[in-house]
Amino acid sequence: VESVDLALKILDGSQIRGKTLSVQRAKFQMKGAYDPALKPKRKKKDKERQKKMQENVCKGSYNCTAIGLQSPDCLALAVPAKAAAHVDYPHLVCQSVYTGEPKIIRARLFDWRPDRMRGEPLKCERVVILKNLFTPEDFDRDVQLLLEYQQDIRSECLKCGDVRKVIIYDRHPEGVAQVTFREPAEAQACIQLLNGRWFSQRKISAEIWDGKTKYKITETDAEIEARLTNWDTYLEQEDEQKEETERETKSSNIEQKTSQ
């Protein structure tokens, strides 16, 4: 929300290469009216395919929920198992109540994501969590600190590699920032560089993200309104400083011309 307001106030009406930019909030709405009569009817082949899938429903004695399915009566396709399946995937093999033949259940048969290769690092291994960087009250007193912290962290982490993203959870009581690198080795180098270092008179800790913990803090309406008010005040002060700088520059130019 803050970035949208910032873009509207700074970019709207600005001049770039002799052209005026127009910035406005995006509007998401459906084109035209919804007509249920136009809904495409299911073809006969689709109905036969669904019927065949239901006939192959797995109702084996194995616990399908342990392999990521929603219930033991899973709706995943049952694929005939090969001899190697009993060796490589013993926990995925169950018996079909319809044929009595061994079946191998693939919980993500229709998943578009490719299977992770053996030994391939997890995505969370590229993410570093920094703690004890600040307190939420620091940003209440000076909104500009948020941008300064983000820039300082990025510039310091660039020493370790390609930084993809820096997120500061400014409302988290532990003072958390999240840095995403391109490679896991760069994240490990960042931990060696920053773990135990002092930053703004605070000893920070750096660790690899576990891939599960969520650090975003939900704010109340009053806290959001107060924060937006601080942002508005900061933007107004910044505009006033720019105008004052422009006036001083013009006056100095006039004085130089007069002296000549």
In tens, the pLDDT along 56-79 reads 544 444 444 444 444 444 443 333
pLDDT, residue 136, reads 86
Burial of residue 193 (CB within 10 Å: 0-12, 13-18, 19+) is: middle
pLDDT of residue 87: 39
113-166 per-position pLDDT tens digit: 666 677 778 889 999 999 999 998 888 777 788 889 999 999 999 999 999 999
Of 215, 211, 226, residue with least CA distance to 173? 215
Residue 149 and residue 134: Cα distance in Å, rounded?
A: 9
* Helix 145-157 with 184-194: angle, nearest 10 deg: 110
Taking the C-alpha atoms of residue 5 and residue 8, their distance in angstroms, rounded to an integer, is 5
Length of the chain equals: 260
Tokens 């933007």: give the residue. Answer: 235
- The answer to whether 90 and 97 have CB atoms below 8 angstroms apart is no
pTM of the full structure? 0.48
Containing 16, the helix (H) or strand (E) segment is strand 15-16
Structure tokens at 71: 């219930």
For residue 31, the model assigns a pLDDT of 72
Q: How many CB atoms lie within 10 A of CB 177?
A: 25
H helical segments located in the chain: 2-10, 44-55, 85-88, 136-141, 145-157, 184-194, 221-259
- 223: nearest Cα among 151, 147, 126, 137: 137
Q: What is the rounded CA–CA span in Å between residue 190 and residue 231?
A: 31
Sequential DSSP letters for 146-211: HHHHHHHHHHHHTTTS-EEEEEEETT-TT-EEEEEESSHHHHHHHHHHHTT-BSSS-B-EEEE--S
pLDDT in tens, the chain (260 residues): 678 888 888 888 888 888 888 888 888 777 777 776 776 666 677 777 777 766 554 444 444 444 444 444 444 333 333 333 333 444 444 444 444 444 444 445 555 566 667 777 888 999 999 999 999 888 877 778 888 999 999 999 999 999 999 999 988 999 999 999 999 999 999 999 999 999 888 999 999 999 999 999 887 888 778 777 877 787 788 778 888 888 787 777 777 766 66
Looking only at the bridges linking them, the beta strands covering 127-131 and 176-181 are: antiparallel
Vertex 159: Cα angle to 155 and 162 (nearest 5) = 85
